[in-house]
Structure 1
Amino acid sequence: MNMRKVVKLIVFIFGICIFTFGVSITLKSDIGSGSWDGINFGLNKTVGMSVGFWINVNSFIILLITALINKEIPKFISFITAFIIGSFMDFWLYVLGSFTVNDIVIRYGVFFLGVLITCFGIGIYLLPKFPPNPIDYLMVSIKEKYNLKIIQAKIGIDIFCLLGAFIVGGPIGVGTILSTLLVGPGVNLFYDLFSGVYNKLAIRKI
């Protein structure tokens, strides 16, 4: 493996490590999680097994649904990304353990810190353009299949995930709405901010 690929892999893993830490922090704020995360956390609470396990199971289902939409063989390479994300989620939830915050002001502070870290991490992990998380792959497929704008496809998936999270008892609340509004713009901000630095690293001859 040449150094260019090493740099891409390091940036990819680092980004996932950071953004899963951010998601774990937002969960600990106890004011709501993202819609997709709500399903995985809800299943963890009501059925059992780890959050990472449910990320893997639901990602596999999403890959099958996406393959049906695109009428193609499932791109199981995207499952590798989901597996890494699930593994880091379980790790951070284990590290944070029983950490809780009672003061409402501090809880919102923790939440916004978690969202900021999440946006930073996602913006970084997208830079190498490795296979996307299956839920992101589904969003792009729906956009192209039905000639929608990316925001329309995202809203449709968010509504579906919110319903699923509600059914399985996921942590839905004010934070869910805030995450929906803030994460997209935040990811774009960090992606644009660091893309120049990343491109210099990726093309640099070492």
Structure 2
Amino acid sequence: MKLFEHIIGFIILSLGIVLVIAAELGAGSMDAFNFYVNALLSEHVSWLTLGRVAILNGVFVIILGFILSRDKKIFISFLWIFITGMFIDFWTLIVGYIPDAFYATLIMKFVFAASGVAIIGFGVALTLDSGYPPSPFEYLLVILDKKINNIAITKIFIDVTYLILAIVLGYLYNDIFEQIGLFTIVLTFFTGVLVKHFSNQIDKYKSKKGVIKHVIE
């Protein structure tokens, strides 16, 4: 059951990522980086997709994390980034069937983006609640934090690094603001708050379910 919860968490997370990107009001720094890499290279590399770029980015992070820590456990996280990448492509295909006119207005774009942010928060909360090994990026966060000794600064360092890379790639793509905008800031500073909120709700649900089960028995 815990494994199922972990996998579902990544599937839900990938849906949130796709909704935020579709809204074009700013994606998370890492997702913006993946978007621009795909946008710049997919015309020249036919097999490349947004999901596959996410997987390749994850592989790079796994290798970097292993070099820094020599911890072989990080290789387990490849499974999670593979699932996320495959479902990013799946949800991109599904969302692609929605007529552009449906979310052409600023209000609908905002609804898409806000829904995506909430879904991302819920998906991450599920993966953390399961207790299974984290994604490559969370592994890297833990590894770097051992050297920096400040989890907040470590996360900001990773986010800013990806943001700078995304801005450079966005400049080369001639459209920096397609995936760097208001919700880039929202995702950077408020995802943690949402994850905490949903984690608390999951704990309350499980506690309530446990009480009901105990009463029935």
Counterpart contact for 1:127–1:198, Cα < 8 Å: no
What are the equivalent positions in structure 2 for 1:12-31 lying under 5 Å apart?
12-31=6-25
Question: What count of residue pairs does the alignment treat as equivalent?
Answer: 195
Report the counterpart of residue 104 of structure 1 in structure 2. Answer: 106
2-structure distance, mates of 1:168, 1:192: 37
Deviations 1:173-205 (A, max 9, x none): 12111111221110111112203545777xx9x
**Offset at residue 19 of structure 1 (A):** 1.6
Report the counterpart of residue 191 of structure 1 in structure 2. Answer: 199
Structure with larger Rg: 2
Q: Secondary structure at the match of 2:132?
A: coil
**Offset at residue 75 of structure 1 (A):** 2.3
Report the counterpart of residue 175 of structure 1 in structure 2. Answer: 183
2:63 is aligned with 1:64: yes
**Offset at residue 168 of structure 1 (A):** 2.2
Deviations 1:134-175 (A, max 9, x none): 111111111112212x21111000000101112222721121
Counterpart contact for 1:21–1:92, Cα < 8 Å: yes
**Offset at residue 74 of structure 1 (A):** 6.7
Deviations 1:22-69 (A, max 9, x none): 111111111110011111111111101111111111111111111222
Normalised to the residue count of structure 1, the TM-score between the two structures is 0.87
Q: Secondary structure at the match of 2:200?
A: helix
Q: Secondary structure at the match of 2:89?
A: helix
Counterpart contact for 1:63–1:74, Cα < 8 Å: no
Give the fraction of aligned pairs with identical amino acids, expressed as a percent.
30
- Cα separation, partners in 2 of 1:190 and 1:39, compared to 1, 3 Å: same
Report the counterpart of residue 49 of structure 2 in structure 1. Answer: 50
Normalised to the residue count of structure 2, the TM-score between the two structures is 0.83
**Offset at residue 9 of structure 1 (A):** 1.6
| Structure 2 unpaired stretches of 5+ | 43-47, 171-175
Q: 2:134 aligns with which of 129, 132, 135?
A: 132
2:3 is aligned with 1:9: yes
> Over aligned residue pairs, what C-alpha RMSD do you find?
1.9
| Structure 1 unpaired stretches of 5+ | 1-6
Deviations 1:75-110 (A, max 9, x none): 211111110111111100011116432211221122
Deviations 1:94-138 (A, max 9, x none): 111164322112211221111111111111122112121111111
2-structure distance, mates of 1:111, 1:39: 17
**Offset at residue 73 of structure 1 (A):** 4.3
1-structure distance, mates of 2:72, 2:169: 30
